[in-house]
A and B are shown apart, each in its own frame.
Chain A
Amino acid sequence: MRIIVPLQGIVQGRGGLILGSLIPCALLYFFQFYLKRNRSSPPPDSPSASTANLPELTGIPRNSSRTSLPTRGSIRPAPVSSRATAIARASDSAYYTGWKKWLEDPYHPTSNPDGIIQLGLSENHLSLDLIEEWLAANLQKSLLGEKRGDLSICGLATYEPLGGLMDLKMVMAGFMSKIMRGSVSFNPAQIILTAGATPAIEALSFCLADPGNAFLVPSPYYPGFDRDIKLRTGIELIPVHCRSSNNFSLSIAALEREYKQAKKRGIKVRAVLLSNPSNPVGNILHRETLYDLLSFVTDKNLHLISDEVYAGSTYGTEEFVSIAELLDTGVFDNSRVHIIYGLSKDLSLPGFRVGAIYSYNENVIAAASKLTRFSSISLPTQHLLVSMLSDTKFVEEYLKVNRERLAQMHALFVEGLKQLGVECFKSSGGFYCWVDMSKFLKSYSVKGELELWENILNVAKVVLTPGASCHCIEPGWFRCCFTTVTERDVPLVMNRISKVLKDHKATH
């Protein structure tokens, strides 16, 4: 127990030492003691059932601050951490609300044609058949080996090397290189494998910044970054707003501005984080912009995290340029550059949990490798993927056909939305149409945007992602995933959305 000295006001000049300080102190001391003794008394109506258990508890020395043992439920349990309290308390964002509603009433063309159509989840359903075909022909061999001896689960089941099997790293390096159309080669030794891109980003963040530091993130950005980075690392995300007037392209001037602002506020910026191709906008960074970006981070001595999970899902006329390509030139120090990759998007296998950090920095590789034990890829899955990705013919065919199908669906959506008077941003990669519905808002504000979003969810029964969830500074933009429905469903989607848009237009 600490003796809390009463406030100055009591002590100062009133009653001298004894009356002014000692007596008030003593009174306060005894008051605290009294409170502490009595705080632990159970409420008067606590059930007496607990006393039946007392005989078993006689071995416990009585603690002076407890007069009797509490009964379950009558007293609050030991607290959890403040982090956990915040998470438990956090109301679900629109991002998750839409998902939950859809789970309860999911659309199906035959069994539930009036159900909710999910266009808010970034999953690619367009090319799973290709993978299914491959599995049908190859599964047994890939998973368990051909001979009885190879059936040995020993290979499957023992502890894996840190950061994943070397075989898988090698085929991942090859896969990534194929995706970049051979313009850059990746070194397997620089790959760290994790159970999805989500832990990859978190682990990398833990390595690059301390709690209270910040990353600059061009916005609108992937809503999941808020969770991936802020939940446990204590790192702040500072959005660097991109605008439609500038085609949502990254402005180095805006980066500079936010960097300076952060500095003024005493916040240490440690990295720039971006996704390329961008989620949600779908644009691809030009070579020149990447160059300028590298100059910026070099000048400020920051890290650069390039989340390239959609690199293989491009469909426009623009060619994707990985940040890795610019490092090949040798102009920039590559130890500050880190790439995030994974198979959830490009290979449509989010359930299998396969992600990667690609870094040029040996210390990051060493530290991040140690972190993979908290999120390792299941060995049977690793073996399956080694087999699948070693089949170069399959990989090439898959990437080609997938891109074609993405282009096709994207075009259908763009055309369909155009008919409704909705303009899509001209995107080149990813799974989304980034659409401008601002003219349908009842009020040009976040409130107006969420109102429209809710109507589209509840009336049209279509889940979109509101731009506010992506930290877009201009209200009225929505992210609309086009890879979770079939061609046949497109007219239905457009029809449903049109009804809500008509209502909103009418009241304008």
Chain B
Amino acid sequence: MDESSRNDDMKLELRLAPPGAEQQQQHWGLINGIRTTTKRDESSVLSLGYFPHATITTKGSPSSTTTSSSQAAALPLHNNADKKVFSPSSANTAVPNTSQKRTAPGPVVGWPPIRSFRKNLANSSSSSKPPPPPPEHHNKDYGGGGGKGMFVKINMDGVPIGRKVDLNAYDSYENLSNAVDQLFRGLLAAQRDSSGGGVNKLQEEEKVITGLLDGSGEYTLVYEDNEGDRMLVGDVPWHMFVSTVKRLRVLKSSELSAFTQLLVLFSVGGKQEKDAT
């Protein structure tokens, strides 16, 4: 028993390799063929959430080979190297007729595998959450206050099912904008796909929804206030916004009235001019 368990340990602690290859480094070295000697950065290649493939061109065996020698895949970093070489096959996980673009770094549909309500929770919480400000309660309550949640409905063009956001979870327009991106990115991609002939494919990274506040993106964030007026999000100080907002909408920027589009651009353009001069 001891012998076999020790053998097991050995098997586990030493890298298993084809017979004859004693040291793991040699093993990987043999089939790698590609090793760089650049110095290793302090920071991990994988920080900033960049898709590692973005920085690596695929070399070595083509994806069609399946022999073990093509296991240039997933190689460990050599101690002196920081460049990882991944198997072409793993870089080819996208459908081949799309280019092997790993353009936008950042999150992918459905990753990490947690449900969307946890995701929203996750990204809006921080270890030093400020105490919630007493908000105006918009929800129809029956006696007694509800929890501190200040939920307003938010709908997005092109997505039939609306959602709700808890404005108390954010303290700035930027955080709200990020949250809206998180909320709808996946739904939008799914919606495009289910309608068929969509531009985006399910396995591509979802398009990050940016430029919600400054008119630069495909979508713009607007809201309806307590007087029923539609306003651009971002015009008034945050706490004032929170106290007057009734519901949110994410509209296609192209569908904003020409006048509104000008308004948005002017409010951003002004700042840009200032920076330029």
Please indicate whether A and B come from the same complex rather than being unrelated chains: no
